[in-house]
């Protein structure tokens, strides 16, 4: 076949058109779905009642169940919660990190407790320093985030708080606006340490100022930082949960999924996890989903059932 300049140009044009058509076809394809990674909170095996289950044990059980991560409850660790992190504590953290590695488990979060709702500056300062220590703990473990709380007024005990659906009176002589100011200022004081260590602060829709989506978003929208986001706990909105979870979904950087086999410790919710999975998918959430089993059934049966259910719901 004889090639002329005209035939060469015609062939080149056809080839370019074919390539362009192929590129257009590829760009029109929907993005491939990301496989959901699952974790297990150590809280799933210990609900603050004896005997305390070790972090090492939960790591081993998570490995046997084939999940990717473990979310560590700080109060469950074998180090003092409030004392400074000393050499013995650092040694313990390194042992946990090694144990997770050899079991094929990522340490994905450290769930901590703090209270930033107090009229006493010295109490807030103590909680800020405690949170900074927790950031250091996460850094030592290689965990990319910590769960933080706003704290609450503490005008009723926890059982009464649960009976009142998470609602408590504001401390006499003070206002809710003051509480938000204290909390926002305290979180801002923790952020330089979070950035220094590369650890995200994940603020949970927990009891206290973040009990409602509006309260949680009021805090997050007042602090513009890539080192702060929402932790979506699926079991902490007792009424109209799906509408409320939708409101915080776009800010979510970590998700904890509650289940209640055997009936809940304080209450039981019948949650539709396929619906929750869609809420997260609609905002392109690609992070971990960490199980918080809060049922009275034995964890050795309740946790595997929960993981199986979550895998089906999230298409995993």
| 229-238 confidence digits (pLDDT tens) | 999 999 999 9
Query: For each of the chain's 316 residues, which pLDDT tens digit applies?
Result: 443 434 433 444 444 444 344 434 343 344 445 689 999 999 999 999 999 999 999 999 999 999 999 999 999 999 999 999 999 999 999 999 999 999 999 999 999 999 999 999 999 999 999 999 999 999 999 999 999 999 999 889 988 988 888 889 999 999 999 999 999 999 999 999 999 999 999 999 998 999 999 999 999 999 999 999 999 999 999 999 999 999 999 999 999 999 999 999 999 999 999 999 999 999 999 999 999 999 999 999 999 999 999 999 998 5
CB atoms within 10 A of CB 263: 11
Cα–Cα distance between 33 and 281 in angstroms, integer? Answer: 9
> Which pLDDT belongs to residue 242?
98
> Which pLDDT belongs to residue 249?
98
Q: Which two tokens stand for residue 22?
A: 């192929």
> Which pLDDT belongs to residue 316?
59
> Which pLDDT belongs to residue 33?
53
> Which pLDDT belongs to residue 226?
97
Question: In this structure, are strands 200-204 and 38-41 parallel, antiparallel, or unpaired?
Answer: unpaired
> Which pLDDT belongs to residue 158?
85
> Which pLDDT belongs to residue 279?
98
> Which pLDDT belongs to residue 252?
98
> Which pLDDT belongs to residue 207?
87
Going from the N-terminus, what domains does the chain have, and what CATH number goes with each? 33-313 (3.20.20.150)
Q: pTM for this one?
A: 0.88
Peptide bond into 51 cis (omega under 30): yes
> Which pLDDT belongs to residue 164?
84
For 32-87, what is each residue's pLDDT tens digit? 456 899 999 999 999 999 999 999 999 999 999 999 999 999 999 999 999 999 99
């Amino acid at each position: 076949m004889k090639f002329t300049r005209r035939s060469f140009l015609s062939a080149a044009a056809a080839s370019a058109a074919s390539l362009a058509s192929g590129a257009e076809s590829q760009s029109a394809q929907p993005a491939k779905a990301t496989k959901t990674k699952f974790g297990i909170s150590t809280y799933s095996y210990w609900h603050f009642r004896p005997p305390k289950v070790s972090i090492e044990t939960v790591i081993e059980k998570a490995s046997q169940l084939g999940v990717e991560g473990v979310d560590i409850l700080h109060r469950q660790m074998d180090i003092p919660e409030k004392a400074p992190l000393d050499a013995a504590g650092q040694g313990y953290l390194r042992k946990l990190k090694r144990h997770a590695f050899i079991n094929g488990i990522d340490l994905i979060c450290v769930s901590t407790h703090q209270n930033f709702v107090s009229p006493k500056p010295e109490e807030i300062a103590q909680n800020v320093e405690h949170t900074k220590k927790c950031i250091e703990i996460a850094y030592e473990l290689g965990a990319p985030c910590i769960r933080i709380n706003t704290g609450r007024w503490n005008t009723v005990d926890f059982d009464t708080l649960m009976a009142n659906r998470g609602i408590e009176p504001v401390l006499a002589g003070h206002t809710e606006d003051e509480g938000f100011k204290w909390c926002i200022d305290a979180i801002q004081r923790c952020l330089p340490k979070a950035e220094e260590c590369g650890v995200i602060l994940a603020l949970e829709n927990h009891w206290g100022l973040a009990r409602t989506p509006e309260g949680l978003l009021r805090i997050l929208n007042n602090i513009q930082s890539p080192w702060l986001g929402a932790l979506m706990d699926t079991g902490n909105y007792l009424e109209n949960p799906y509408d409320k979870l939708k409101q915080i979904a776009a800010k979510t950087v970590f998700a904890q999924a509650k289940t209640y086999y055997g009936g809940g410790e304080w209450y039981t919710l019948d949650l539709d996890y396929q619906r929750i999975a869609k809420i997260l998918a609609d905002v392109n959430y690609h992070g971990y989903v960490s199980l918080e089993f809060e049922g009275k059934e034995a964890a050795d049966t309740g946790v595997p059932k929960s993981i199986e259910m979550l895998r089906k719901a999230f298409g995993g």
